[in-house]
Amino acid sequence: MPNEEHFATVSGPEALDALFERSADGPVVLFLHDYYCPVSFAAYDEMVDVTGDIALIDVSAQKDLSKAVEKRTGVRHQSPQVIILGDGEPKWAASHYSITAADVTDAIAEVANQPGL
């Protein structure tokens, strides 16, 4: 059953810092979403079916945060985009129609099973 309650909007730079820190304990999923983009809504529909907490960045309203993610991860900004962090580093990323619930779920499991997490 889809659950949209697991999306938590990243409120600012401090919240982003906390997510990077939290990724030392396990995978953190960042979802960069554009509410004005139909492709992004297709990705959103996929992300609804992913179990667990998802940190959502509204790229239209939070341009500085999306730029900060790109700078900190080295992953070129695209939206929609999913980046999975582990130990403060990007461990997996996908964008556009490559974002599927199955692939994201598999990537979360893979990152969780990496040594040191």
Residue 3 pLDDT more than 70?
A: no
Phi-psi label, residue 74: left if phi above 0, alpha if psi -120 to 50, beta otherwise: left
pLDDT category, 4, cuts 50, 70, 90? low
**What domain range includes position 73?**
4-111
pLDDT at 117: 60
* Cβ neighbours for 85, distance < 8 A, ≥ 6 positions apart: 19, 20, 23, 27, 28, 29, 30, 73, 91
Does 99 fall in a domain? yes
Does 96 fall in a domain? yes
Does 90 fall in a domain? yes
pLDDT digits (tens, 9 = 90+) for 10-41: 999 999 999 999 999 999 999 999 999 999 99
Locate tokens 């554009």: which residue?
34
Does 116 fall in a domain? no
Q: Write the CATH number for 102.
A: 3.40.30.10
Could you give the residue ranges of the DSSP H alpha helices within the chain? 13-22, 38-48, 63-73, 101-112
* Cβ neighbours for 41, distance < 8 A, ≥ 6 positions apart: none
CA distance 76 to 28: 18
pLDDT at 2: 46
Taking a C-beta distance cutoff of 8 angstroms, is the pair 102, 46 a contact? no
Does 47 fall in a domain? yes
Does 117 fall in a domain? no
How many domains does one find in the chain? Answer: 1
pLDDT digits (tens, 9 = 90+) for 49-87: 999 999 999 999 999 999 999 999 999 999 999 999 999
Does 101 fall in a domain? yes
What's the pTM? 0.94
Does 27 fall in a domain? yes
pLDDT at 114: 86
